Structure 1
Amino acid sequence: MKIARFSHEGTLSYGIVDENELVVLAGDPMFAGFDTTGERVPLGKVSSLLAPVIPRSKVVAVGKNYREHAAEMGGEAPEAPLLFLKPNTAVIGPGDTIVLPPQSKQVDFEGELAVVIGRIAKNVSAQNFADYVFGYTVANDVTARDLQKTDGQWARAKGFDTFCPLGPIIETEFDPSQATLRTRVNGELKQDGVLTDMVHGVAEIVEYASSVWTLLPGDVILTGTPAGVGPIVDGDTVEIEISGIGSLSNPVRARAQ
């Protein structure tokens, strides 16, 4: 089931994607379930698709979770998941603008699979991880690469406003073992990976992260990026596609000094 969050005639709503229409839900499906209002809205008539989830608490992310990406960054994949946090204020939706901050001279794209948590999760076992997952979406872990190298930690480099695009929808019945991830910049293919190349799979990541933090409904976990990351500049458009979910596209603009 594909779930969208959208704006229509001044109202924010959730809907089930049914071919070219949205079946409007009575509320946030993570809390109100899948009861519908009976209204249908053509996809072509919605004002905009929004980030399918706004994390109420946090975005958890995993670094160096593909061996080839770790190598292109000059290191090796860690034995345990390498966790860091992005603020929820970094989240934007499909079509929203990634704003390049003047503090950085090199901002990179990183296409990733995102896991959306659906229940309070603490000390979850890998065997039961699926009971706590609401669904999956596409993410871009935008990174100020130069600041990541100079700061000694990643909070600023990963945390600027607009540095966590999510969308276009949440797929509740997604199988990562069957999916590919491709990133294009201005139509040119930059990343072409399979999700089975993750060093630490989704089950292990949920188990590990929930042993550190209590994960809340609406929290998002970014699972790492394949090789091929690179810079984006003013005027670019970044499109990240995960088979079975969809494509997330965002323009890039420089922020005024």
Structure 2
Amino acid sequence: MKLASLKEGRDGRLVVVSRDLQQACHAEGIAPTLQAALDHWDECERALRALYQRLNRGECNMAFAFAPGSCAAPLPRAYQWADGSAYVSHIELVRKARGADMPPAFWTDPLMYQGMSDGFLGPCDDIALANESWGIDFEGEVAVITGDVPMGITAEQAHPHIRLLMLVNDVSLRNLIPAELAKGFGFFQSKPATACSPVAVTPDELGTYWHHGRVHHRLRVLLNHQLFGEPEAGVDMTFGFDQLIAHASLSRRLGAGTIIGSGTVSNRDEHSGACCIAERRTRELLNTGAASTPFMRFGDRVRMEMFDEQGQSIFGAIDQQLVPYRGPAT
């Protein structure tokens, strides 16, 4: 099943989207928003799936053309956004470039931070930021949306609580990060709004490409229409989403609509490219002694998309342009 939220009010308007992403139908009478559906998943899921099946068979009389540009994030605002760093080889690479040792615990205990959840960007919304000198970077990730998760759940118990999957662009301001982390209190200014794919899908849509809490498809990232990277999301993911959920719920319950990110998708094989500029710059530094790829500049466009074995887009594309922020003075 594929679900999206059209731009309407603060929480969007829930629609069911066809498997080929061509048609959509309002979820009238089932749930007004995705959050409402998640809050009452046991009651809503069967009706949403029935509508999805009718839509795919061409039997939805109220179907209309699906337009990603009309979409908000599947959850325009969420109760919680916790982003992990499940690709530990990515962390190892970055630390190696600056001569820092890798703590052994990083391989057994996930890193995670709590990010901005009160306003996600839609898939085609501009990235509006005030200053290029902040070191603006994209990060292509996979994320899950959970139902209610009890405190203290194990990884083995986590799978039934995963409701949906989607892609995210977790924007980072690289030149602001060092000073923030040096304070010992985590990210804040260096992590602005995150964008989400047009569509969130139930795990069964991925078939055998979803197993062990990992998505086994390549995430294609384009920068200014040129291929930047296409790593396989399941290959070097040290911690599956089941483990990330268990980590997040150790000392707290997770409410329905919690979003948990994978961290930047990354492969050890450098021929797969990268899903963020920082990783490419790190490889350049290690290989040549200098980082040559610049961070994003105003006018740059980034596109992220994942395809199935038939070449069909699974989640639709995140397609964003970096523009100057014209709001209040910073």
TM-score, normalized by the shorter chain, greater than 0.5:
yes
Do residues 247 (structure 1) and 320 (structure 2) align?
Answer: no
Is the CA contact 1:182–1:240 (under 8 Å) kept in the aligned structure 2?
Answer: yes
For 1:86 and 1:224, the matched residues in 2 are separated by: 12
Point out the more displaced range, 164-173 or 186-195: 186-195
What SS does structure 2 have at the residue aligned with 1:250?
strand
Q: Which amino acid in the other structure matches residue 232 of structure 1? A: M
Equivalences for 1:216-227 in 2 at 5 Å? 216-227=255-266
> Which residue matches 1:5?
5
What SS does structure 2 have at the residue aligned with 1:68?
helix
TM-score normalised to the size of structure 2? 0.69
Task: Flag the 1:213–1:254 CA change in 2: closer, same or farther, 3 A.
Answer: farther
Task: Flag the 1:217–1:178 CA change in 2: closer, same or farther, 3 A.
Answer: same
For 2:305 and 2:67, the matched residues in 1 are separated by: 23
Deviations 1:20-61 (A, max 9, x none): 221221313213414369763312468711100134322101
Task: Flag the 1:156–1:144 CA change in 2: closer, same or farther, 3 A.
Answer: same
> Which residue matches 1:155?
188
Do residues 208 (structure 1) and 247 (structure 2) align?
Answer: yes
Is the CA contact 1:22–1:41 (under 8 Å) kept in the aligned structure 2?
Answer: yes
Unaligned runs of 5+ in 1: none
> Which residue matches 1:170?
200
Alignment identity in percent? 20
For 1:247 and 1:69, the matched residues in 2 are separated by: 26
- Residue 23 of structure 2, aligned match among 12, 21, 24: 21
Is the CA contact 1:122–1:214 (under 8 Å) kept in the aligned structure 2?
Answer: yes
Equivalences for 1:49-128 in 2 at 5 Å? 49-63=71-85, 65-68=87-90, 70-72=92-94, 74=97, 76=102, 78-79=106-107, 80-102=109-131, 104-128=133-157
For 2:230 and 2:133, the matched residues in 1 are separated by: 26
For 1:39 and 1:87, the matched residues in 2 are separated by: 38
Greater share of strand: 1
Task: Flag the 1:238–1:103 CA change in 2: closer, same or farther, 3 A.
Answer: closer
Is the CA contact 1:24–1:39 (under 8 Å) kept in the aligned structure 2?
Answer: no
Is the CA contact 1:65–1:81 (under 8 Å) kept in the aligned structure 2?
Answer: no
Point out the more displaced range, 199-208 or 46-55: 46-55
- Following superposition, the deviation at residue 206 of structure 1 comes to 0.8
- Following superposition, the deviation at residue 165 of structure 1 comes to 0.2
Do residues 191 (structure 1) and 229 (structure 2) align?
Answer: yes
Q: Which has the higher contact order (CA 8 A, sep 6+)?
A: 1
Q: Output the aligned Cα RMSD.
A: 2.5
Larger radius of gyration: 2
- Residue 173 of structure 2, aligned match among 132, 144, 147: 144
Task: Flag the 1:44–1:166 CA change in 2: closer, same or farther, 3 A.
Answer: closer
What SS does structure 2 have at the residue aligned with 1:5?
strand
Point out the more displaced range, 136-145 or 184-193: 184-193
For 1:4 and 1:168, the matched residues in 2 are separated by: 6
For 2:180 and 2:215, the matched residues in 1 are separated by: 35
TM-score normalised to the size of structure 1? 0.87
- Following superposition, the deviation at residue 156 of structure 1 comes to 1.8
- Following superposition, the deviation at residue 226 of structure 1 comes to 2.8
Greater share of helix: 2
